[in-house]
């Protein structure tokens, strides 16, 4: 019996082989004293926040401590009722600009406000509970000077509420990032790792989608639309930030998967142009979503529901579980190799 795994599975295996071959010679990057930079790019750092006066100073400090100092900080307060304004005012730094707006319930609106108010060549996003390593902007400045791209990202260390490292985000081979590959896998770009070219975004009217049915997937949608508009993406294969794990509950996960399905539907029928077989693509993406749901059921020890989701995924697209398995294995292996190389 012969299994034809398809181009996507072969792609994951080839990427893994390239990674294993390259890790031996890849220099380790130190997280202190990165000095050199080859770019004069000016960055607008957009920080949306809501009632996080207690932890916001630490996030801002991680920007102020950057070795690359050509930036402004735009803080968009999404209707806080605590003393966020007083905390920001006490920092007394002319590079910090503060905007208040009535709460929208979504980070899309304050991020868009930040983009509109920005003056930089690049807009870099940072959530108010995340942090950057000191050389983050220096490395991004070098990357955009050396490569033609409109979106640049890097690896992020994900930590739980106790500060324990639990995973890494952001694995991609820059030569292989495309609208198709990102749509067919999942969003591995942490928002706090992404910077976008402001002129490109303005030229194509690219902002976060503020619709209710895009909540929690508005970032993924923007990255996809940047690539669909002809933008190119580059990933710095170095951990340059810390992402705080979301404390999601069942209701939040249900909303996320519901909105992800809506995003898939919009992109399949309205945006993507890489295949005319839209119904087949819709089934494949739905199967992939069911597999992701199955993984969450395993973590909740809900094995009956996991089997149900897995069965439905196989019925929708029989080969998708195999593709998904290879994708997950390659991601885990890549994470391990990056941490041990």
Task: Say if 26 falls within a structural domain.
Answer: no
**276 and 147 housed in the same domain:** no
Asked if 136 and 280 sit in the same domain, the reply is no
Domain final residue, candidates 244, 277, 309: 244
Single out the residue in 209, 244, 279 at which a domain terminates: 244
| 228 and 202 together in one domain | yes
Weakest mean pLDDT among 29-33, 46-50, 254-258, 299-303 = 29-33
185/86 same-domain check: yes
Statement: residue 104 has pLDDT above 90:
no
Residues 229 and 121 placed together within one structural domain of the fold: yes
Angle between helices 320-340 and 303-316 (to 10 degrees): 120
Domain contains 112 = yes
Residues 180 and 256 placed together within one structural domain of the fold: no
Q: Mark whether 160 and 300 lie in a shared domain.
A: no
Instruction: Choose the weakest-confidence range: 55-69, 109-123, 249-263.
Output: 249-263
| pLDDT top residue among 201 and 313 | 201
Which segments within 263-320 are labelled E, that is strand? none
- Pairing verdict, β 195-197 and 131-132: unpaired
The answer to whether residue 115 sits within a structural domain is yes
pLDDT per residue over 4-60, tens digit each?
Answer: 344 555 555 455 545 444 444 443 333 333 445 567 999 999 999 999 999 999 999
Of 280, 279, 287, residue with least CA distance to 261:
287
305 & 268 share domain: yes
276-281 average pLDDT score: 96
Q: pLDDT band for position 140 (50/70/90)?
A: very high
**Could you tell me if residue 153 is inside a domain?**
yes
Task: Say if residue 157 is in the same domain as residue 301.
Answer: no
Establish if 192 belongs to a structural domain. yes
Q: Which of 222, 244, 266 is the last residue of a domain?
A: 244
CA-to-CA separations, 285 to 140, 183, 187, 314, in angstroms, rounded: 32, 8, 13, 12
Parent domain of 110? 43-244
pLDDT tens for 222-232 read 999 999 999 99
One domain, residues 262 and 202: no
What are phi and psi for residue 96, nearest 5 degrees?
A: -95, 125
Q: How many CA atoms within 13 Å lie on the side-chain side of 290?
A: 22
Domain of 51, CATH number, reads: 3.90.550.10
Does a structural domain hold residue 240?
Answer: yes
Token pair, residue 139, equals: 């490395």
Q: Do both 60 and 84 map to the same domain?
A: yes
Mean pLDDT of the chain: 86
Give the C-alpha separation, 165 to 20, whole Å: 23
**Same domain for 182 and 262?**
no
Instruction: Indicate the number of domains in the chain.
Output: 2
The model's pTM? 0.85
């Amino acid at each position: 019996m012969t299994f034809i795994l398809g181009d996507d599975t072969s792609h994951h295996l080839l990427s893994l082989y390239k990674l294993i071959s390259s890790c031996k010679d890849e220099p380790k990057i130190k997280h202190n004293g990165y000095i050199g930079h080859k770019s004069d790019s000016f960055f607008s750092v957009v920080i949306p926040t809501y009632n996080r006066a207690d932890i916001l100073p630490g996030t801002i400090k991680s920007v102020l401590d950057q070795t690359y100092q050509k930036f402004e900080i735009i803080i968009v307060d999404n209707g806080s009722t605590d003393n966020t304004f007083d905390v920001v005012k006490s920092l007394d730094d002319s590079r910090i600009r503060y905007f208040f707006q009535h709460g929208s319930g979504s980070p899309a609106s304050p991020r868009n406000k930040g983009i509109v108010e920005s003056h930089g060549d690049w807009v870099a996003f940072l959530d108010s509970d995340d942090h950057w390593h000191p050389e983050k902007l220096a490395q991004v400045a070098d990357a955009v000077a050396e490569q033609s791209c409109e979106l640049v990202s890097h690896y992020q260390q994900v930590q739980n509420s106790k500060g324990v490292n639990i995973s890494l985000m952001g694995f991609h081979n820059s030569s292989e990032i495309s609208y198709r590959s990102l749509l067919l896998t999942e969003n591995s770009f942490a928002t706090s790792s992404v910077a976008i070219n402001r002129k490109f975004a303005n030229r194509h009217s690219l902002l976060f989608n503020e619709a209710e049915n895009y909540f929690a997937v508005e970032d993924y949608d923007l990255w996809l639309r940047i690539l669909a508009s002809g933008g190119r993406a580059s990933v710095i294969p170095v951990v340059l930030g810390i992402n705080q794990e979301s404390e999601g509950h069942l209701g939040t996960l249900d909303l996320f998967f519901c909105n992800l399905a809506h995003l898939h539907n919009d992109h399949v029928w309205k945006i993507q142009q890489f295949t005319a077989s839209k119904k087949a693509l819709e089934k494949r993406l739905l199967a992939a979503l069911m597999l992701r749901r199955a993984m969450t059921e395993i973590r909740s020890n809900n094995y009956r529901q996991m089997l149900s989701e897995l069965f439905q995924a196989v019925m929708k697209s029989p080969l998708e579980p195999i593709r998904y398995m290879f994708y997950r294995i390659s991601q885990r292996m890549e994470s391990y190799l990056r941490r041990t190389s």
